[in-house]
A and B are shown apart, each in its own frame.
Chain A
Amino acid sequence: MVASEPPISGQPASLAAQAFRPGETGGSQLGADWFLARPNLGVLIDALRADGRTVVGPRVVDGAITYAEIESADDLPIGVGDEQAPGHYRLVERGDRRAFDYTVGPLSPKRWTFPSPLSLNVGTRDGRDVTFERVATETPRLAFIGVRACELAALGIHDRVMLGGPYTDEDYRTRRQGALVIAVNCSTSSSTCFCTSMGTGPAARGGYDLALTELDEGFVVRIGSPAGADLLARLPVRAADGDQRASAAEAVAAVAKRIGDPVPSAGLHDRLMAQFDSPQWAKIAERCLSCANCTMVCPTCFCNTVIQQSALDGSTSTSERIWDSCFTAGFARVAGGNFRSRPRDRYRQWLTHKFATWVDQFGSFGCVGCGRCITWCPVGIDVRAELLAIAPPLTPGREPAAPRPVAAAPGWYVSGRVVSVRQETSDVTTLTVGDVDDAFLAGQPGQFAMLDLPSFPQLPISISRFGRDTVDFTIRAAGPATAALTALGPRDEVGLRGPLGTSWPIERAMGHDVVIVTGGIGLAPLRPLIDSLVAQRDQFDAIRLYYGARTPSDQLYQEELRGWGARGDIDVQLTVDRADDAWTGPVGVVTHLFDRATWDGSRSVAFVCGPERMMEATVDALEARDLAPDRIFVTLERHMQCGIGLCGHCQIGRLFVCRDGPVFALAQLGDIFGREGI
């Protein structure tokens, strides 16, 4: 069997640097860190242009930060970022001075190293004779600036595909040899990124001439090749100081941490190859448009075809090479039939090539985790989710809940460190907290933690996501303590105790339809449930999510809502109490979203979280649809303090909400639910 985790990055390091440019100068500076002040970025670009190079860098074009020819630093996307989700891309104006705070756009260096169309030859037929004349194409001397680690890996893959075998692509060689590569380490990421899983980023590990890491005041520059050293020698740089080097390293490390490991790649080759008959292929084909966008934006897809244009008299014909795609019907067609006649066949071909057979052919995955195929799929098919569904990791999901940690006892707070902060709405913030106790990572969707910021009251906050080594808390700034929590920034610490309470009984829903009804910030404790449902999507029948918010801008997790909806296998319905000008969806209470729906409640399991009034109305509506009380799960909110049923604050009837809840089956609550004054 082949290596399942082939080293993908690093290796071409030096195809560009050494094989192509065996220069002698500057070698001693390889790997050293320098600092280029922000105003001098233009000097770098001017120097490249002065060498007669065509400089290709990031530029805002038609609503996206894409690669284009640039003439000066003013052409860079200064102060502009992007928001990406499955099937979704928008520019975001930040207004700062940063030039590289975006993630990859629709084009990659492939556009220049492997162009389409490329003129090949002109064939002429004269009587019995035929002659062919190669069309000479001008290959510009290129310099790329802004190339990300995933793109360096993609270039490395193309090097192996087009130069590493017994036959080589000479046009590619010419373009590639002449190109200078200025990489940029990622200091931001998108929801679609998964370079960490593919082992390619976010830090550039080779294959560049210079690599920049952007700080507010300028750029830490690392030399990757003699040509890079030569270039740097012409720039006004000084040695980077310790703080600058540390800030640069921290920024990139934070990106790695944020992305996590969405598609564990261990054993992926074999796992995938064992799933040729998975029913999931047909399910994907229900959504897949076979439009080929994924392959067109992919920085490693290299399939191409030759088209010809003949003169009217048939005497001459001109050949051009253009990008082709395994998603087109003609791709595997021969006289008499088509080997991959169905879209499901084509999707399987593509996915198994990228993640399995590519390994057999070229010694690495054909995917670098850039996420372009996810963002630019018009219907938002997420290759990560499909891989998890088709070929789940060898140790799927989390272990069952660990024994209750001793650390749950009041007073046993341990500190976690805020890794990142995300403003969800005007008054709701999500803290991603790392360095947490292992007990947290074994927590279950629906559980909560007590948060302690010394000098503020301790607060019960539900866990809104389990990362690989982080947990999220989504908090509405409603009073001083919550305001203090939401004011925390990266690297601030906070005290944690937990995880506490009961969780959503996901296993009860397996093999059934799932209905999730929620309002406002009630979506927060449901998000890890939805994450789990998505990770094991084939264990459930229909999944329906109904979410109401006060206004469109009060919706939490908007990118994810879009992403879930775009999957096509989750019915996501949104409503608001008050619309704004841009809102075209329904207005009204959340139960109206399924008033006229035709689904069968008796096949469903419901998870409900929101204000108690909203939950009461929802429970009435669900019961009217024949959902039994033992299949409706609600969360109750009470004043929870000790979190382990020992302080009495949250007692209702025979139950402690903190210990016996906060997730309850409706049947368990009996007539407590909805009764005033309990």
Chain B
Amino acid sequence: MPTVAARPRLRVGIVKMASCDGCQLTLLDLEDELLPLAERFEIVEFPEASSVRSAGPYDVLLVEGSISTPDQATEIVELRKQAKRLVTIGACANHGGIQALRNWSDHDAFRAAVYAHPEYVASLAQSVPVSELVTVDAELNGCPISPDQLRELLVSVSVGRRPQIREESVCLACKRRSVVCVMVSQGIPCLGPVTQSGCGALCPRFGRGCYGCYGPKEQANAVSLARAFAWTGRQDAEVARLFAGFTGWSGTFRSVAAAYGGPPGVIPYAVPAEPKGGPDDARD
């Protein structure tokens, strides 16, 4: 059997939809590992870093950003056909991103308020995760994604195994680092208990509550956490705002935000309800 290094290089593409480019740049943050990376991977499409373009096919296609325009909705379907493995990266691609705040409001009213000629602006009424349109093989969470997890994903593809990405809560990361719980000791509302780890508990380490940018952890009991926030004196609007952040359009967080009246400042219309049922009803 040939060693892994002797195999042909894998073709990697990195593309973006509606997003800020921060997740793509995480690849460049791998710095010291870029050269070994180039031995295993041929980066054929990465407009952020190189003018060399390729239409595919790709062994691995990393997709950043949410689907926010009709063009993107068409493009992602075409890209899927070109990709052996499609991996979405970041809160936008996985959960709709912060731009999904518009999903709570009447889209036409927003457009009319902002643009002189709203008819020139082609955008979908909702910013949605890539997985609503095409099959996704793996997701890397975060806003932005973690370099370690990106690295692990690439290694797993290279070695030919499943990525080992822990799906537990941020709390474990806090406790392993001896971070004192900001919620219990200071009453700061923190989404850490219901949010998937990966960030190394970045915000709690600096005395902030978790913003949930990695999205709901497995079987996240956001209902119970929201109740605890309300109990510690948070008003409904604040609870809704907390859950309606970077990953607020994910099913679990969305239903809690809705139950507490939705994020502040929306131009209301009917928000589609999530199916009822707590995390304990669904089997893993």
A and B associate in one complex? yes
Interface residues of A (CB under 8 A from B): 61-64, 66, 87-91, 106-107, 111, 116-117, 125, 127, 282, 285-293, 296-297, 307-315, 322-325, 328-330, 333, 338, 341-344, 375-376, 378-380, 562, 565-566, 568, 572, 584-585
Contact B218 A329 (CB under 8 A): yes
Contacts of B152 in A (CB 8 A): 309-310
CB contacts (< 8 Å) of B73 on chain A: these are: none
Residue B284 is within 8 A (CB to CB) of chain A in the complex: yes
Contacts of A376 in B (CB 8 A): 181, 184
Identify which of A62, A312, A584 contacts B33 (C-beta below 8 A).
Answer: A312
CB of B228 closer than 8 Å to a CB of A: yes
17 contacting pairs across A/B (C-beta < 8 A): A62-B185, A64-B185, A285-B278, A290-B221, A291-B193, A293-B171, A310-B159, A312-B36, A312-B154, A315-B4, A328-B169, A330-B166, A379-B225, A565-B231, A566-B231, A584-B234, A585-B233
> Nearest chain A CB to B277's CB is how many angstroms away?
11
* Closest chain A CB from B225 CB (angstroms): 6
Centre residue among A63, A107, A307 by max chain B CB count within 10 A: A63
- In angstroms, Cα B4 to Cα A107, docked, is 43
Which residues of B have CB within 8 Å of A290?
169, 219, 221, 279
CA distance A330 to B148 in the complex (A): 20
Those 7 A-B pairs whose CB atoms lie nearest each other, nearest first: A296-B175, A291-B193, A341-B284, A314-B4, A285-B280, A63-B185, A329-B218
Give chain A nearest CB distance to B232 CB in angstroms: 8
Do B175 and A293 touch across chains, with their CB atoms under 8 A apart? Answer: yes
Q: CA A378 – CA B183 in complex, angstroms?
A: 7
Q: Shortest Cβ distance from B153 into chain A, in angstroms?
A: 11
Q: What separation, in Å, do the CA atoms of A524 and B183 have in the docked complex? A: 29
Closest to A297 in B: B175
Contact B284–A333 (Cβ < 8 Å): yes
- From B158, B166, B175, B218, name the one whose CB has the most chain A CB atoms within 10 angstroms: B175
Q: Which residues of B contact A378 (CB under 8 A)?
A: 171, 181, 183-184, 190, 193, 225, 228
Contact at B224–A568, with CB atoms within 8 Å? yes
Q: State how many angstroms separate the Cβ of B95 from the closest Cβ of chain A.
A: 19
- Render B152-180 as a binary contact track against A, CB cut-off 8 A, 1 for contact: 10110011000010111101100110111
Q: Which residue of A lies closest to B234 (CB)?
A: A584
Cβ contact within 8 Å between B184 and A89: yes
Q: Does the CB pair B5–A90 fall under 8 Å?
A: no
Contact A568–B227 (Cβ < 8 Å): yes
Smallest CB–CB gap between B266 and chain A, Å? 22
Which residues of chain A are near B212, meaning CB under 8 Å? Answer: none
Q: 18 extra interchain contacts, Cβ-Cβ under 8 A, other than A287-B224, A293-B171, A342-B280?
A: A89-B184, A89-B185, A106-B180, A127-B3, A286-B221, A288-B221, A292-B169, A292-B175, A293-B193, A310-B155, A312-B155, A314-B158, A322-B176, A329-B218, A376-B181, A566-B228, A568-B224, A568-B227
Majority secondary structure of chain B interface residues (helix, strand, loop or mixed): helix
A90 is contacted by which of B164, B169, B185, B234 (Cβ under 8 Å)?
Answer: B185
Cα separation A297 to B151 with both chains bound (whole Å)? 30
Contact B176–A296 (Cβ < 8 Å): yes
Chain A residues whose CB sits within 8 angstroms of the CB of B151 once the complex forms: 312
A553 to chain B, nearest CB (A): 15
- A residues less than 8 Å from B5 (CB atoms): 313-315
How far is B169's CA from A324's CA once the two chains are assembled, in angstroms? 11
Q: Kindly name the residue among A87, A311, A312, A565 whose own CB sees the greatest number of chain B CB atoms within 10 A.
A: A312
- Docked complex Cα distance between A565 and B227 (Å): 10
Query: What A residues does B228 contact at CB under 8 A?
Result: 87, 378-380, 566, 568
Most chain A beta carbons < 10 A, residue from B158, B159, B167, B224: B224
- The size bracket of the interface on B is 35 or more
- B169:A343 contact, CB within 8 angstroms: no
Of B5, B169, B183, chain A has the most CB atoms within 10 Å of the CB of: B169
A-B contact count (CB 8 A): 175
**How many whole Å from B195's CB to the nearest CB in chain A?**
9
A573 CA to B284 CA in the complex, in Å?
Answer: 35
B180 and A291 contact, CB distance less than 8 A? no
For B280, what are the chain A residues with a Cβ–Cβ distance below 8 Å? 282, 285-286, 342-344
Question: Once the chains are docked, how many angstroms separate the CA of A344 from the CA of B221?
Answer: 12
Q: Are B176 and A329 in contact (CB-based, < 8 A)?
A: no
Instruction: Give the Cβ gap from B36 to chain A, nearest Cβ, in Å.
Output: 5
If the complex has contacts A293-B193, A310-B155, A311-B36, are A286 and B169 also in contact, measured as CB distance less than 8 A?
Answer: no
Known contacts: A89-B185, A328-B167, A376-B181. The answer to whether A296 contacts B221 by CB under 8 A is no
Neighbouring A residues of B178 by C-beta, 8 Å = 66, 106-107, 111
> Known contacts being A292-B168, A313-B5, A328-B168, is A62 close to B219, with CB within 8 Å?
no
Are B233 and A584 closer than 8 Å at their CB atoms?
yes
| B235 contacts A by Cβ under 8 Å | yes
B37 on the A face (CB < 8 A): yes
Residues on A with beta carbons closer than 8 Å to the beta carbon of B184: 87-89, 375-376, 378
B194 close to A (CB within 8 Å): yes
Q: Is the CB of B268 closer than 8 A to any CB of chain A?
A: no
Nearest CB of B to A93, in Å = 15
B54 in contact (CB, < 8 A): no
Known A-B contacts A106-B181, A379-B227; A289 and B193 likewise in contact (beta carbons under 8 Å): yes
Residue of B nearest to A585 (CB): B233
In the complex, the chain A residue whose C-beta lies closest to that of B284 is A341
Contact A117 B176 (CB under 8 A): yes
Q: Determine whether the beta carbon of A314 is less than 8 Å from that of B168.
A: no
Chain B contacts of A106 at CB under 8 A? 175, 178, 180-181
Is A291 within 8 A of B169, CB to CB?
Answer: yes
Q: Does B186 contact A (CB under 8 A)?
A: yes
Interface residue B22 (Cβ < 8 Å from any Cβ of A): no
Q: Does B40 contact A (CB under 8 A)?
A: yes
Chain B's nearest CB lies how many Å from the CB of A485?
Answer: 33
Which among B4, B164, B180, B207 is the interface contact of A64 at CB below 8 angstroms? Answer: B180
> In the complex the two chains form, what is the Cα distance from A568 to B184 in whole Å?
16
Shortest C-beta distance, A236 to chain B (Å), equals 34
The one of A90, A289, A333 in contact with B194, judged by C-beta atoms closer than 8 angstroms, is A289
Which residues on B sit within 8 Å (CB–CB) of A292?
168-169, 171-172, 175
**B192 on interface, CB distance cutoff 8 Å:** yes
B39 CB within 8 Å of chain A: yes
Closest residue of chain B to A66 (Cβ to Cβ) is: B180
Return chain A residues, CB-CB under 8 Å to B207.
Answer: 62
